[in-house]
Each structure stands twice: as structure tokens, then as C-alpha cells.
Structure 1
Amino acid sequence: MSVFNLPDLGEGLTEAEIVEWHVAEGDEVVVDQHVVTVETAKATVDVPCPFAGTVTTRHGEVGDTVPVGSPLVTVGGESGSAATVLAGARQYREEERAGAKLPTGDAAPEEGSGAVLIGYGTGAGSSKRRRRVVRPAGRNTSTPPAKNDYPAVHAGPDSRDSRGGVGAVRVISPIVRRLAREHGVDLAALPVARQGEVVRRADVEQAINGAITPDERPDITSTPAPATSERSPQRIPITGIRRTIADRVSQSRREIPDATTWVDADATELVAAKDALKAARPDAGIGILPLMARITVAALQRFPELNATIDGQAQEIVRHRAVHLGFAAQSPRGLVVPVVKDADTLSTTELAAALRDLTARARAGELSPGELTGSTFTLNNYGVFGVDGSTPIINHPEVGMLGVGRIIERPWAHEGQVALRRITQLGLTFDHRACDGGAAGGFLRFVADAVERPVVMLADL
């Protein structure tokens, strides 16, 4: 017997919640096959098993929280002979090449899947497809194989997964499947699933709110939900990233003596600069957020007091020479803070590309833990939600956060006259332990001046 413990997932994470099992007890696995999807405080991760053989025990059910180092699965001795297992793995690679059009011959990877976690896995290959269950001859084939990961071929609405429920429904992320389970939504009955399309979070939310009605067909596997009053309160467990957010903001409020200062700024010239760049470089995708990121980086270089973190144990302020710029983004898992590493070394075009890439992958739930940690300052563009201002909670252990409100036309004194100008509110929340009001005010005034006269900022870049 080989016991596979939940490995170190990096970034100081100590536990993970089981989101979905991809194997059942009695299934056979090959080395590096993904056996379970877990959700950490930072990301959703497919966990590969480093052993080959038969799954004898799954330690935990969907929704359980497993500490790092605790048993995850127990794998028995290799089923059949070693030659059988190797032949199955070889057959899988050949089928994978045929299905995914991978290179063959001398250019083909012969070993490894690229499914690497700290202390486990091999790295010779680059495939991201989930390994299927390998079954030797003579085994009862009525037991269904583990589901392939999206974008696997849709297997039809009436197929069954390893837990006996309706399976083979493609979802954009495991979070969608969990949301459906919590609200009693039958994924296979949704119109998009019946059409063989990918089920997205919006489809499930529409079903929950009654905007769409699942197909009327009997569900022979589900247990009827207990009758409840429509006015009874709904209890939602605080788990996964929501629990992490709760812990982080609570810690920030307990430990950080924060203060907020703000200023209204005339962003008319900034909008004009954005429009000019869009006309000159339409492929660069430089919008307001990249320009604000450019301004923020310049301000942090001028006022390094705010490009810092607090080391609570050592009771030290750590001023960083590199600017790792975090920015608030919505994702299927809630609010996350992707990080543009070494933002001070990037051009405005490169900043725009990095922000665009991280935002897209945040919305798809594809960011790794390393891309969600290590920021030295956070930019929060809450103006996209149609609000003017906010007093945000600092992203612990940073010492500052810059907020940008919506840009709207307002009457404004301009060149001795009242005119309609594009106005935005800029707010800075800062840790009073790391800097005083003079540095905070100087930082915010620098940002406001750059918003009002972005061309002047070029003299210092």
C-alpha cells in the first residue's frame, strides 16, 4: 500500500478543500494521473498522484478540508504485472497523441505528464489533459472511467460518473459544479448541457434565480431536497477563498491603523491620452487601468514609503525596491488580487498586456497561487462598478491601496470658466505605522497631478 498525502501546494498554504474526485475506490491509476481537484485559498488545483495501482481508499468527501500532509488517497500494489501498467500508460500516451494531435516519433515526450507539485510528479511532458483510468484485461468494465477534464468530448446527458450521479457535463470550472450542488441544480437538465455546450456560472445562477427552467425529465439519482419555506434564511458556509478573504480583512482591521485621504481630479486629459493611444496603437489595448498602473508605479518610485509591507514578527517595515503591483479583479471564486511582478520594469504596453492576461485568467479561474501573492501595493479600480469612492481595507501585509472611482462629466472650474470636465475621485488608504500624512498626501497629489497632466509625467519616466 502507498499512501499519497496532500502535498505542499506552495505559497505557505496549509490546507485545501476537496472540490471534486476524479477516481472512485477500486479504480486503477497511472503515475501523474489527476485524482482530485482541491480548492485552496489561492486557486483551484488538480492534484496528480505519484503512484500507480488500485485506489483502495479515498480519504475525505467533497466539501471536506484536508490539511497539507494528511492522507488523500491510498493506492494498492500495482494491478497485474508491471508490464500491464506500463502498457496501459503507453496506450494512454498513444491515444492522447491521436486525440490531441501531439507530436509523435522522436519529438514526442515518452515519459512524464508535466503534472508537477512540490515533491511529486514528473516534468518531461507538457500535456494538460487529465489522465484516464487504465483498466487491465479481465476487469469488470461496467464501472465507469473517471471523467475527462474540459475540453473532453461530451459523453451525453445520460452517462453516469463514478459516484453514480449524472455526469459528463462540461463546466467552465469545478466551482460551477459545486454551486449547482449547493443549490440543488441538476446540471445535466440545463438546456446548455442538453445541447452539449459548456455550462458556465451564469447558467447555474439563472437556474437558481428561476430565469431558466431545466428540462422536464425524471432524475432517478437525486434525493428530493427537504421542503423549506421561501422566507427561511439561507446558510452559506464560509469556505475556500471566502474564508481566506474573511480572515485577511479581519486581520487587516485588527492590526493596521489605517487612514484614508482622497482628492477629486480632472481626468479629461487622461481620457484624451487613452483615446490617442487607442488610435495610434489599437493592438496595444491601453485603457484607463494600464495608464493608472503606469502612474501608480511612478508614484511608488517617488514615495517608496508606500511600496512596503509590515513584518509583524520582526516589527519591521520592509521597503521593497521592486514594485509588484496587485490589482483587484472579480473571478468565479470571488474577489482576487492578481499580481504584476516587477511592474516597474515594464513599459505601458507591457503593463497593459500583463493586466489583460491576468484579468482574463482570473475570470476563468486559471490563476496559480504564485500569481495571487507577493504584491507590494494594490490598485483598486472600483469605478467599474459605477461608484465614486470607497474606503477599502488594505491588502495585508501591504501598507497602502489606491482606489479609482468612476470618471463622469461634472461642472468644473477650468481656465477661469465653468465647463463640463471628466472628473474622478482618487482615494488612498494607508497604514499610519509605515508613513505619515505628509508622505501619503504627497503620493496622492503626485497621482492626481499625473491624471490631470499625463504628458508632464513623461519628464520623469
Structure 2
Amino acid sequence: MAKVLEFKLPDLGEGLTEAEIVRWLVEVGDVVAVDQPVVEVETAKAMVEVPCPYGGVVTARFGEEGAELPVGAPLLTVAVGSAEPVTGPAASGESAGGGAQDESSGNVLVGYGTGAPAARRRRVRPAAISATPASPASAPAPVPAPAPVSAATAPVATAARVAPEAQATTAVPGPSAALVPAEASALSLAEAQGPVAVISPLVRKLARQHGLDLRHVAGTGRDGLILRTDVECAIKAAGEEPAAGAAPAAAPEPAPSAERIPLRGVRGAVAEKLSRSRREIPDATCWVDADATELMAARAAMNAAGGSAAGPKVSVLALLARICTAALARFPELNSTVDADAREIVRLPGVHLGFAAQTERGLVVPVVRDAHTRNAESIGAEIARLTQAARDGKLTPAQLTGGTFTLNNYGVFGVDGSTPIINHPEAAMLGVGRIMPKPWVYEGELAVRQVVQLSLTFDHRVCDGGTAGGFLRYVADCVEQPAVLLRTL
């Protein structure tokens, strides 16, 4: 006898209490495997795929794409214990995790799955959704509320169900052996049209506001992703097309209204963290120009030494990161945080180096764990891996938190200097401008050298200007004379 189990939005960790549905990965009637991703959600930390711990047939989905759900709200229901869907609504009334050991992994946190490859998705024919005919007089019964959660779902918080009007299509038995007409047409339409390459809920909202069908918009982003500029261009083009047979009207154009963009998701998290940093941290900034000619020559020699068989090229950012770890070993005051409640400075034993990365979804700061134990090549490989994950929107909350010091390479935007805001609750951030040819006095003569501006923003509670200046001067010395690093390697 099949059982209908309810899967709720799990505890996503890192204090996250809600998530926005970006894209459903399954439809009602699909057969899903244990730990198969079923929905893609966006939190204040990252965009993640949520795996379902049950295997069976999807009988209902809750929440439309773009809807925001609290942790503990229902996501979907799955009929387990049979390859065919149940013939009636949740007759057993068992809660998630009760009596389904063979169909459940017991994993309810994002990123905690069996690691096995997901089974190929297959669809159950709508005609087979109701295998047992029901009496014409019988009415569809609602799915009973699940019993108290068991140990398998202990981390999931309790939350109220979403309103019925927010629920998606649900398989409901009726007099015939098919879906109810509205649901059957919705499924047919979804199958005929296919998915839309849109990630941002703001893009979907903008299209809905202007009555624009995204399936007729060509995306210019990676892999055909539809960007906001694509939607705006399509809206403008639609507005310029005159209606057939309509005479031109000389009506005055309405005054443009201000656009309001919700501060949520990644943008909201960045806004909150930066505002808190400004409120709580008394920061100060010092900077210095450094001759990076020798550093660039050393990098070229490193990359040419082993030829193509030497592995990935060592980047300038990787060398600067290695210099930072050496400088923090000499000046540990800057690898610390402040416990304001206890009125204590907490010096941290290891360096977890964050680096700023710009993506289509905004600025994120991935963290290279245990950077103090890595060489330049290892740091560079990890930076490349995390950067690609950031661009693909696949960073997990754990990869975006726990940093102790941040390296900000704003030179990639073509600027020379900046006074960055400290990434709370860290104590300092090193900024790197662009490296460019400039006139420089070298060995008593004027010459053209590769010059870079370095800036250090630091929490004045953890140290004074002497310590901050010593740290920055050591970094500049390593940039100008890479051989200085040999003392600490």
C-alpha cells in the first residue's frame, strides 16, 4: 500500500529562515529517486538545489516559482512504496519519516545526499494517476496534516502551510481515471512549452508586470539565460509596435515612475552585512603604491618553468593571496574578530581567506579554507574552482561563510584605488588596484614600471596604525621583491 509523505523546506543552515523558489525540477506525476534534487531555491547566501529524501511519485507541489517560503513550509508530497501513484489522497496520513525506511535516505539538509547519481526522471501518464475508480458521489478529500516530525526530520522547523491558492497542481482522484481538467491542461501546457531559461525571480516578475511571454524572448546570457536587459529590450520593442488598424493617437506620455527592487536574496544579504559593518566597526584605511614589475616577472617565470605539463597557470591573485597569508603570520592581530559582548579580541588560529567575486547575481565572497597551509598553486586552483561555482550559482552557504580575512581585487574593474568596507565580522580587508605602466624612480633613474596601489582597511579596535602600516609595508615589500617570501616558505 503506497503512503503519501510530505517533504517540507528543510533547515538550510547558517541561520537562514526562508528561501525563494527559483525553478521546479520535477512535475506532478514524475517518479523521483531518493535524494534527487526537486527544486532550486535562492537564499540570502546562495542558490541551491534541494534534494528530496523520499523516492516515489510526486503527487503535489506547493508554491509557485518566485514565491518565498519559510523553513518548515510544505514543498511537495510523494507517494512511496509503489512504482505507481496512489489512487486516493494520503489515506495513511503518515508523516514524513514514518515507516518509510526503504524509500527515504533520512537526509533533509541541503547538500546532504547519498552521493549516488540521480535516476533518470520519468513521467507517469496522467491516465494512470487514478488506478482505482471512485464513486461518482465521492468528493476529493484533502491530504491529512502530517503527524509530528520524526527523528529523520528533526532539524526541520515547524511552520504553517502555505495558503491553498499558493499551491501548485495536485493529483486528485475523481470519477474518471484522469486528472481534473484544469490540472491536466496545465500539465499538457508545461510539457508542450518546456522550461524557460530564467534564474532571477525579478526577471520573471518584470515579464509578468508587462504581460510578456518569456518563451518568445531570446536570452543573451550564459547557455541562453534570459537576463533583465533581454526582458527590457523585448518590452521596449513590444511598445513600439503599433496595433493593427489603429490610428496614431497624440496622447501624452505618462510620467515615468521610479522602479522599486526588493532588497532580498543575495543583494539583501550584502546590504545587511555592509550596513552592520558600518554601524559596528570603527574602520580606517591606509594605502601605498608598489612596484609590481618583479612580481609579474616572477609569475611569468613560474608559469614558463614546467611548460604545459606543469598544470594550471599561477594567477596574480593567487600570489597576492599567498603574500597575505605570510603577512598574517607576522601580524596576527589582523586575523581576528571582536566579541563586543565580552569586550574581547579573538585571535583566530587559521586563515580562511575570502575573495570578492562579481557575478550576474551580485557580489559574493567565497572562502578558501585553511589558506595558511596552501602554496600559491593550491590557492590558485581553489580560487578558480570557487569562482566558477559562483558564476554558475552553485556555491553552498558553507562556502560563503567563515572567512577571517578578505582579499578584494577591484583592479579587474579598471580602477586604481578604493576604501572597501570590511566584511563583518572580520577585522581587515586588503584591496588591490589595477597593475599598469607608470613612471617610477628605479635605482635612481626615472623608468616605466608596473605599479599597483594597495589599500588596507582595518578595524581600529584590534590594532593601531603602526600594526596596520607594518602589515601593508610587508605586503608591498613582497610585491616589489618576491624573494622576501623565501624567508617564510
Q: Structure 1 length as normaliser, TM-score? A: 0.76
The 8 Å contact of residues 48 and 394 in structure 2, kept in 1 or not, is answered as: no
Q: Does 1:457 align with 2:485?
A: yes
Which residue is equivalent to 1:168?
A: 194
1:243-266 deviation per Cα after TM superposition (whole angstroms, max 9, x unaligned): 111111111111111111111111
2:418 alignment partner AA: S
Change beyond 3 A, Cα 1:410–1:369 = same
Which residue is equivalent to 1:205?
A: 229
Q: Does 1:435 align with 2:463?
A: yes
1:7 alignment partner AA: P
Q: Does 1:244 align with 2:264?
A: no
1:214-242 deviation per Cα after TM superposition (whole angstroms, max 9, x unaligned): 9xxxxxxxxxxxx9958332221112111
Deviation (angstroms), 1:418: 1.1
1:63 to 66, 83, 88: 66
The 8 Å contact of residues 33 and 132 in structure 1, kept in 2 or not, is answered as: no
Change beyond 3 A, Cα 1:13–1:392 = same
Work out the CA distance in 2 between the residues paired with 1:436 and 1:352. 31
Give the secondary-structure state (helix, strand or coil) at the position aligned to 1:82. Answer: coil
Deviation (angstroms), 1:122: 7.8
Work out the CA distance in 1 between the residues paired with 2:170 and 2:36. 13
Work out the CA distance in 1 between the residues paired with 2:116 and 2:470. 49
Q: Does 1:292 align with 2:320?
A: yes
The 8 Å contact of residues 170 and 198 in structure 1, kept in 2 or not, is answered as: no
Spell out the pairing of 1:66-77 with structure 2 (5 A cutoff): 66-69=69-72, 71-73=73-75, 75=77
Work out the CA distance in 1 between the residues paired with 2:253 and 2:471. 54
Q: What is the Cα-based RMSD across aligned positions, in Å? A: 3.8
Which residue is equivalent to 2:82?
A: 82
Work out the CA distance in 1 between the residues paired with 2:401 and 2:417. 26
Give the secondary-structure state (helix, strand or coil) at the position aligned to 2:395. Answer: coil
Change beyond 3 A, Cα 1:134–1:307 = farther
Work out the CA distance in 1 between the residues paired with 2:403 and 2:339. 14
1:101-149 deviation per Cα after TM superposition (whole angstroms, max 9, x unaligned): xxxxxxxxxx88989542x8984452257745545862389x9999xxx
Which residue is equivalent to 1:261?
A: 286
Rg comparison, structure with higher value: 2
Work out the CA distance in 2 between the residues paired with 1:201 and 1:398. 36
Spell out the pairing of 1:306-385 with structure 2 (5 A cutoff): 306-385=334-413
2:217 alignment partner AA: L
Which residue is equivalent to 2:259?
A: 234
Q: 5+ residue gaps in structure 1? A: 87-110, 147-159, 215-226
Which residue is equivalent to 1:150?
A: none
The 8 Å contact of residues 44 and 269 in structure 2, kept in 1 or not, is answered as: yes
1:5 to 5, 8, 17: 8
Q: 5+ residue gaps in structure 2? A: 87-101, 132-167, 172-184, 239-251
Work out the CA distance in 1 between the residues paired with 2:416 and 2:120. 45
Change beyond 3 A, Cα 1:180–1:17 = closer
Work out the CA distance in 2 between the residues paired with 1:122 and 1:134. 27
1:166-193 deviation per Cα after TM superposition (whole angstroms, max 9, x unaligned): 742463x733x65244245543223469
2:43 to 40, 44, 59: 40
Work out the CA distance in 2 between the residues paired with 1:26 and 1:456. 65
Change beyond 3 A, Cα 1:229–1:320 = farther
1:16 to 2, 16, 19: 19
Deviation (angstroms), 1:426: 0.3
The 8 Å contact of residues 432 and 454 in structure 2, kept in 1 or not, is answered as: yes
Q: Does 1:126 align with 2:116?
A: yes
Change beyond 3 A, Cα 1:25–1:207 = closer
Which residue is equivalent to 2:217?
A: 190
Percent identical pairs in the alignment equals 50
Which residue is equivalent to 2:153?
A: none
The 8 Å contact of residues 388 and 425 in structure 1, kept in 2 or not, is answered as: yes
The 8 Å contact of residues 60 and 169 in structure 2, kept in 1 or not, is answered as: no
Give the secondary-structure state (helix, strand or coil) at the position aligned to 2:128. Answer: coil
Deviation (angstroms), 1:313: 3.8
1:242 alignment partner AA: R
Deviation (angstroms), 1:368: 1.2
1:84 alignment partner AA: E
Change beyond 3 A, Cα 1:115–1:270 = farther
Change beyond 3 A, Cα 1:32–1:436 = same
Which residue is equivalent to 2:298?
A: 273
